[in-house]
A and B are shown apart, each in its own frame.
Chain A
Amino acid sequence: MGKQTILTGIIVEETTVFTLAELSRACGKPAEWILALVEEGVIEPVGGDQAHWQFRGHCLRRVCIVQRLESDLGLNLAGAALALELLEEVETLRNRIAILER
């Protein structure tokens, strides 16, 4: 690739919606696993029946974190889902502290 090539991407969270197949491919896990995440309430699909499900862009990050926690730390889905929520809370709190400490 030439040095001058400038790649332009899109912000996933703002503009992208994933189908079940796309989300499954983006995190490298089978569709059944994504369905289990929906069951667990980690991500919420929009749009009618399963065949027409769509996932908003922000789901990708959540799905990837759960996938890494599961494979790296051996957590089960429920544990990873709980860890994800706690991590998000910790991140919010850390950010607040950084603002207040100034």
Chain B
Amino acid sequence: MEYKDYYKIMGLKRDASQDDIKRAHRKLARKYHPDVSKEPDAEAKFKEAGEAYEVLKDPEKRAAYDRLGDNLKAGQEFHPPPNWDSGFEFRGGGFTAADMGGFSDFFAELFGQQGRAAQAAYSTQFNARGQDHHAKVAVDLEAAFHDATRSISLQSPELDAQGQMRLTTRTLNVKIPKGIKEGQQIRLAGQGSPGMGQGVKGDLYLEIHFKPHPIYRVEGRDLHMQLPVAPWEAALGATVKAPTPDGKVDLKIPAGSNSGNKLRLKGRGIPGNPAGDIYVTLSVVAPPANSEQAKAIYKEMASKLAFNPRAGMGV
């Protein structure tokens, strides 16, 4: 288990006041909230800040944590000394944060003793439908094109037989419905929390996001892409191969095309009713002048074509 430097995580000195701690947490929470931030590790940072705050905001937990000493470095291998928390009285359940299952092993080792009894006692008395769960998952764009099955790993906190919260990972094989769009949710009936007593299981909602694609940008059901073309293909017109998530297609480039011109492949975007389109932006690429022959052709163009690409700039 690694020691976590909660002060460093929050960007604070060890003598920070309770007000400083609160302010630092508010700032970090706004910055890294997974609904707000687009940073790839936002969720991890948000949870880390939440865990740090959970300890530092509570004078009792903070004092206990501080006693572990200043000479420990973040990431260092750590085992709490026996009875390290003796002499500290933790009030109530200890956990005010609902999502303690997302906290680190380090946190669980130090503060994990509290709150368990309350959790376990709670679960025996009612018949209630299980909670619905929500998760965000990233799939490849191609999955939206043909009812593809994708294997999805989800971590969730669950109570084990001893009534202790543990992060468990389960893997689901989920059929991604054809035609799904970025941000839409799939409802999987009965895949949420188990019900209490006679209650039925909750549902699982998967919010689908597409992984960044090397070729396409997604907008609703439409895709956008750039297609490199040779100068003669653009100038004279040509039929060229263009990729689509469903396979190669022939695309007719009209004569007199240029960089930035847009062509539309109707109905080749994400399937649906109506299906999306693919917008192809042409990008004319100059061939390298890396042979005598190529240089000769460029020289010939230079001498025979009266062409000033900067005419529009008045120079």
B36→A87 contact, CB < 8 A: yes
B301 to chain A, nearest CB (A): 28
| Band of interface residues on B | 35 or more
Majority DSSP secondary structure for residues of A touching B:
helix
A72 to B300: give the CA distance in the assembly, Å.
67
Residues of A within 8 A of B34 (CB): 68
B259 proximal to A (CB < 8 A): no
Q: Is the CB of B191 within 8 A of A12?
A: no
A31 interface residue per 8 A CB criterion: no
Q: Which residues in B have their C-beta under 8 angstroms from that of A47?
A: none
Given the complex, which residues of B lie within 8 Å of A83, measured CB to CB?
A: 36
Asked if B132 contacts A25 (CB within 8 A), the reply is yes
Given A94-B38, A95-B217: A10 touches B175 (CB 8 Å cut-off): no
Instruction: Produce 1/0 per residue, A66-102, CB < 8 A to B.
Output: 0011001110000000010001000000111011001
Measured between alpha carbons, how far is A27 from B131 in the docked complex, in Å? 9
Chain A window 4-45, contacts with chain B (Cβ cutoff 8 Å), 1 for yes, 0 for no: 111111111110100000000111100000000000000000
Q: Give the size category of A's interface with B.
A: 35 or more
Complexed CA–CA distance, A25 and B185 (Å): 16
- Residue in A closest to B273 when the chains form the complex, CB atoms: A14
* Cα of A10 to Cα of B281 in the assembled complex, Å: 34
Question: Do A69 and B185 touch across chains, with their CB atoms under 8 A apart?
Answer: no
Contact with A along B191-224 (1 / 0, CB 8 A): 1000000000011011100000000011100001
Q: How far is the CA of A11 from the CA of B35 in the complex (A)?
A: 21
Q: Which of A4, A9, A102 contacts B187 (CB 8 A)?
A: A9
Distance of A20 from chain B, by nearest CB (Å): 15
Q: Does A3 contact B (CB under 8 A)?
A: yes
B180 within 8 A of A: yes
Q: With A73-B29, A98-B217, A99-B219 in contact, do A12 and B35 touch (Cβ < 8 Å)?
A: no
Q: Does B226 contact A (CB under 8 A)?
A: yes
CB pair A61–B30 under 8 Å, yes or no, is no
In the complex, A11 Cα to B221 Cα: how many Å?
14
| Residue of A3, A4, A60, A99 most packed against chain B (CB within 10 A) | A99
Tell which of A7, A28, A65 touches B132, judged by Cβ atoms closer than 8 Å: A28
Instruction: Judge whether B203 and A26 touch: CB under 8 Å.
Output: yes
Task: Knowing A5-B173, A6-B174 are in contact, say whether A68-B186 is a contact too (CB < 8 A).
Answer: no
Instruction: Give Cα distance in the complex from A64 to B300, angstroms.
Output: 65
Contact A11 B177 (CB under 8 A): yes
Given contacts A12-B186, A28-B131, A28-B132, contact A7 B173 (CB under 8 A): yes
B152 to chain A, nearest CB (A): 9
B57 within 8 A of A: no
Kindly state the separation between the CA atoms of A70 and B87 in the bound complex, as whole angstroms: 36
10 contacts between A and B (CB under 8 A): A6-B149, A9-B186, A11-B186, A12-B205, A25-B202, A26-B203, A69-B33, A73-B29, A102-B224, A102-B225
Beyond A7-B191, A11-B177, A102-B224, 9 additional contacts (C-beta under 8 Å) are A6-B173, A7-B174, A8-B174, A10-B177, A11-B185, A12-B184, A12-B205, A68-B34, A102-B225
Q: Which 4 A-B pairs have the closest CB atoms?
A: A9-B186, A12-B185, A9-B188, A99-B217
